[in-house]
Structure 1
Amino acid sequence: MNTQKVVQYIERHKLFSPDDKILVALSGGADSVALLRLLLSLGYTCEAAHCNFHLRGAESDRDEHFVRQLCLEHRVALYTVHFDTEQEAKERHISIEMAARELRYAWFEKTKEACNAAVIAVAHHRDDSVETLLLNLIRGTGINGLRGIRPRNGHIVRPLLCLDREEIVGYLESIGQSYVTDSTNLQDEYTRNKIRLNLLPLMQEINPSVKDSILKTAEHLDDAASIYNISIEKAKQRVRTPEGISISALMQETAPETVLFEILHPLGFNAAQVRDICRTLDGQPGKIFTNADWRIVKDRDSLLIESMQEAAEQPVLEMKEYPYTPDFIIPRDKNTACLDADKLKHPLSLRLWRQGDTFVPFGMKGRKKVSDYLTDRKFSLLHKRQQWVLCCGNDIAWLVGERTDNRFRIDGKTRKALVISIAGR
C-alpha cells in the first residue's frame, strides 16, 4: 500500500496537522488497527479509545484484551469504557445499532476533551462509503444522503477513506500485524452486512468496477449537493415565519415539496409524511401531523411547527384574596384576573378549553363560544390548542391570559376580591 496516498488525503482535506494529538477509535478490527499503525508510522501522536458493548459475549472481552496488548506494545495510552448496550436500546426504544453508535460517539467526544486531543480518527474506508450510500438509497434519502461518508464531520475525521478493504488488509499483512475479526461481520443479519455480503457481490457481477462507479457518482453528487444546499438555505429563509412556514411563499418555490422536506426531515419527518403534508396545503385547516418530538398543524395560511415538549404547558396560577375597599385598585394586566370571591360558589379547576365551551366575556351580557372568541382574536390553530381556562364548577371564570367572565366580575356588592395571576409573568 502506498502510504503517501493517505498523507496526501489528510493534507488535501486538512484533517489534522503534524503537531496535533489524535484520539484513534480502536475496535481491534483490521480497519482500526491499520489506522493506528499507519498514523504511528507517519509520526503522529496518538492515543486510543475502545468501547466494550458486551454484545458478543467472550468475543467482546477478547477484542478488549487484544486492544490492550496492542497499545501496550506500541506505548499508546488507551481509554476503555463498558456499556450495557442492549439495556440502553430497550430503555430508549431504539435499535441496538443506533444505541451503540450514539453511546460510542458521545463517549469519544468526552474522551477527546479529557485527553486534549485535536480530533477523533475513525477507520471508515472506501467500501464503507459505498455501503453507506447504498444503504441510504435503499432506505430513501435526499441528495445529502447520496454523498457517501464525509472526510470530516466536526471533530470526527476519516483518514482511510482513500483506501479500500483489500488495501488495508494487505498493509497489515505487509507489516506482520494481526487483528481480530468481528464474527457478526460474516453474518447477514444486519442491513449493512446484507449489502456487503449479498448485494455488492451481485452488482460486481454486472460491473466489476461498480464500487469505483458509485464513488465517482458520489463525488459528482457532493458537488451538486453543495450548490443545492446554498439554494435550499435561501428558500428556507423565504418561506419561514416565526411560527412555522408560509404556505403561499412555499408554493412559489420551484420545488415546494423538496423545500418542505429539507425543513422537516431534520425534525424527524420522513419523505412519506412530508408528501402527506404537501397534499393538505390547499385543503381545509386543522390537519395535524406528529412524531415523537414535533407537531405540524395545517392552519389557514401557514404550516405551524410546535415542539411537543413545549405544547400546552400548564400555567402556574397564584391566588390572593383581598378585602374590597374603596381604595382597592383592580389590576388591568391581561395576565391577572380579578374576580368577586363570593360569586365563586364551586371549586376552581384549570384545563384546556374544549369544543363547545362558552363564556360571557367581560363587559358583555350574552354567551360567546370560546372557539369564536379565539378566532376573532386571530389565534393560530396552535395558539388555540394551548389556551387554558379556569373553571368555577362547570362555568368558565377566566380565559387565562385573555379575558374574565362577566358573571364573576367585581361590582358594587363585592366584599372580597380574588386576584389570580400567572406566575412568572
Structure 2
Amino acid sequence: MHKLVSRVLDHIINNDLIRRDERVMAGISGGIDSVCLFYVLLELKEVLSFDLCAVHVEHGIRGESSRRDERFVRALCEKEHVSLRVFNENVPELARKQGLSLEEAARLIRYRDFDTALTEAGADKIAVAHHMNDQAETFLFNLIRGSSLRGLSGMSPLRGKIIRPLLNCARSEIEEYAACMGLEYVTDESNRDESYSRNRIRNSVIPQLERVSARTVFHITKAGDFIREADEYLQSQADELYTECVTKAGRKGPCVIDTESFNTAPHILKGYVVRRILKEQSGRWKDISSVNIDDIIGLCEKQSGKRIELPCGLLALKTGDRLKLGKKEDLRGGPSERPRVEFELADYGAHMGFPEKNYTKWIDYDKIKNGLCVRTRREGDRITIDSELHRQAFKKYLINEKIPVNERDSLLLVADGSDIVWVIGGRLSEGYKLGPSSERAVIINVIGGLNNE
C-alpha cells in the first residue's frame, strides 16, 4: 500500500468518514486531485467494505475543454467499472441571472447536483478532493478579504454528507502518488489564470511564503485546526446567550434581543449571536459584513427609536430595552401573529423561588383587585414603578422608557382595572410582585408572537 493511501486510510478511520456497507460517491472533475481521490477510494473500498460510484459536473464554462474533461471522466469510470452520473450545466447563465461570480455560481450548482446525485444513487456520502493546500489557500483568501473565526477555521473532514479524505495530504504528495502510479488526468487551463484570486494565492503567494518556511502549508493548516476548536467552543457559548436573550415571532418572524442582558455579554459572543440572527433572517451571508454586525451591537446600547437599514432587506430597530431585527415589512406595521396569554393559579411559598423569563411572569394572586385582562393602553392607566409603591401615569412611563410613539398603542398589557400589571415582554409592576408573605401565585405565560415557541 502506497504511503499516501495509508495516510488517507488513517484519516478516514480517525474521523469516521466512511462506515462499513456505505455507498460513497466520488466527485470527479478529471484533474489530478480528483483522479487521485478516485484511485485511492478504489483501493480502499475492499479494505473498508464500501461501494463506490461517481459524479461529474460539466459547468459549461470552458467550451470544448470542459467537454473534453467529461469524455475523460466517462472513459475513466467505464475502464474501472464504476457507475457515473453526469450533469451538464450553464454556469455563466446562472451567474448572470443571480449576480454571482463564476466561482460562486459553479460551486452553487455543483453542490446542488451532488445532492441530486446522492439521492438518485442512494449514496450515503459524497467524497470531494480538497487537500491540505486547499485549506491553506482558503485560510489566506478569507484572511485577506476579512473574515470571522469561522472563515479562518477552514474545511472540516466531515460536514453533513460531504467527506474530504485527502484533507491531511499536501499537493506535493498527491503529485508524487500520481507519478508513482502512472495516473492520467486532465489539466484545467483556467488554473493558471491569475485574474482569479485563488489562483494568485496558489501560484504566487504560497510559493513566496514557502521560501520563508518550507512547512508553510502545514503550519497554516494546523492554525486553522486550532481556530476551528476555538470557534466551536465560542459557538456553544453563543448558543447559550442566544437562548437567554433572543426571542422570535414564529419560524420566519423577526427576532427580538433583550438588550439589558445582551449588553453585559463579551463582545465576541454578541457577534456570534448577531451573525446567527442575520443568517436566520436573510438566509444567506452575501452582502453582510462585519461592519453590519458591529453596527447592530452598537445599536443595542443606543436610545430607543434608533434604527439601521441593513443589506438583504433587513432592518434593526431599538425599542425600549429591546432590539428588533427582521425584514423591513415585518417591522413596519406588517401583519404579525398576536400572542396567546395563559393564566394559571398555583400555591406559593417564599422558599420555592420562580423562574425569571421574559415571557413568563409570576404575580401575587391576592394583590389582584378587579381581575386580569389582556389589552392595549387606555386613558387613565397607571403603573407602580418602585418597591415603595410609587405610581406613575402609564403615559409618562412610556415617555420615560423612550418607547416610540408609533408603537405605544400596539403594546400588549396585562391589566387589573386601570392598573398595569405587566407590559408583556417588558416591565412587571412592583405592586403585584411576590413577597415573603405571598401564599398564592398567578403564573402568566405568553405563547406565540415575539416569544420562543
* TM-score, normalised via structure 2 length: 0.67
Q: How much has 1:87 moved relative to structure 2?
A: 0.8
Once residues 208 and 129 of structure 1 are traced to their aligned partners in structure 2, the CA distance between those partners, rounded to angstroms, is 16
Query: Given that residues 245 and 261 in structure 2 are in contact (C-alpha distance below 8 angstroms), is that contact kept between their aligned partners in structure 1?
Result: yes
For structure 1, the 5+ residue unaligned runs are: 316-333, 335-370, 380-425
Q: Where do 5+ consecutive residues of structure 2 fail to align?
A: 249-254, 336-374, 376-403, 413-453
Deviation at residue 240 of structure 1 after TM alignment = 0.7
Task: Look up the match of 1:272.
Answer: 291
Is the 2:238–2:273 contact (alpha carbons within 8 Å) kept by the matching residues of 1?
A: no
Q: 1:35 to 1:373 in 2, by over 3 A?
A: closer
1:336-365 deviations in whole A, cap 9, x for unaligned?
xxxxxxxxxxxxxxxxxxxxxxxxxxxxxx
The aligned counterpart of 2:316 is: 296
Alignment-derived partner of residue 31 in structure 1: 33
Deviates more, 1:255-264 or 1:266-275: 255-264
Instruction: State how 1:93-104 maps to structure 2 within 5 Å.
Output: 93-104=99-110
- Structure 1 distance, partners of 2:333, 2:172, is 57
Secondary structure at the aligned position of 1:292 is classed as helix
Partner of 2:259: 247
Letter in 2 for 1:203: L
Matched, 1:184 2:182: no
8 Å CA contact 1:27, 1:67 repeated in 2: yes
One-letter identity of the residue aligned with 2:409: D
Q: Distance in 2 between matches of 1:373 and 1:25?
A: 56
**Cα distance, 1:187–1:69 mapped onto 2, change above 3 Å:** same
2:112 — aligned with what?
Answer: 106
In structure 1, distance between residues paired with 2:314 and 2:301 = 22
Deviation at 1:312, TM superposition (A): 6.1
Which secondary structure does the structure 1 equivalent of 2:108 belong to?
Answer: helix
1:137-195 Cα distance to aligned partner (Å, 9 max, x none): 11222222222210011000000111111111211211211100111111211111111
Distance 1:213 1:372 in 2: 57
**Cα displacement string for residues 41-82 of structure 1 (whole angstroms, at most 9, x for unaligned residues):** 122421111111111111101100100110111111111111
Say if 2:275 is the partner of 1:262.
yes
Q: Which amino acid aligns with 1:154?
A: G
Q: State the alpha-carbon separation in 2 of the partners of residues 302 and 16 from structure 1.
A: 47
Letter in 2 for 1:119: K
CA 1:373 to 1:271, structure 2 compared with 1: closer, same or farther past 3 Å?
closer
| Deviation of 1:257 (Å) | 4.5
In the alignment, the residues of structure 2 paired with residue 372 and residue 216 of structure 1 have an alpha-carbon distance, to the nearest angstrom, of 54
CA deviation vs aligned residue, 1:383-408 (integer Å, no higher than 9, x gap): xxxxxxxxxxxxxxxxxxxxxxxxxx
Asked whether the equivalents of residues 274 and 296 of structure 2 are also in contact (C-alpha less than 8 Å), the reply is no
Relative to structure 1, is the Cα distance of residues 92 and 311 closer, same or farther in structure 2, using a 3 angstrom cutoff? Answer: farther
Give runs of aligned pairs for residues 94-173 of structure 1, distance below 5 A: 94-173=100-179
Label 1:173 to 1:308 Cα distance change in 2 as closer, same or farther (>3 A). farther
CA 1:260–1:19: 2 relative to 1, 3 Å: closer
Q: In 1, are the aligned partners of 2:56 and 2:70 still within 8 Å (CA)?
A: yes
Q: How does 1:226-245 map to 2 (within 5 A)?
A: 226-242=232-248, 243-245=255-257
- Given the superposition, is the C-alpha separation of residues 211 and 92 from structure 1 closer, same or farther in structure 2, using an over 3 Å criterion? same
Identity %: 29
Separation (CA, whole Å) in 1 of partners of 2:334 and 2:270: 35
Q: 2 CA distance for matches of 1:292 and 1:75?
A: 47
Q: Alpha carbon RMSD of aligned pairs, Å?
A: 2.2
The one-character-per-residue Cα deviations of 1:399-425 (angstroms, maximum 9, x if unpaired) are xxxxxxxxxxxxxxxxxxxxxxxxxxx
Secondary structure of residue in 1 paired with 2:92: helix
Query: 2:222 — aligned with what?
Result: 216
Which has the larger Rg? 1
The aligned counterpart of 2:78 is 72
**Distance (whole Å) between structure 2 residues aligned to residue 286 and residue 249 of structure 1:** 19
Instruction: Tell me how far apart the structure 1 counterparts of residues 204 and 164 of structure 2 sit (CA, whole Å).
Output: 26
Distance (Å, rounded) in 2 between the aligned partners of 1:376 and 1:309:
19
Partner of residue 21, structure 2: 19
1:309, CA displacement in angstroms? 7.3
Q: Provide the C-alpha distance between the structure 2 equivalents of 1:272 and 1:29, rounded to a whole number of angstroms.
A: 39
Q: TM-score, normalised by structure 1?
A: 0.72
- Is the Cα–Cα contact under 8 Å of residues 6 and 159 in structure 1 kept in the other structure? yes
Corresponding residue number in structure 1 for 2:408: 375
The structural deviation recorded for 1:222 is: 2.3
SS at match of 2:326: strand
SS of match in other structure, 2:247: coil
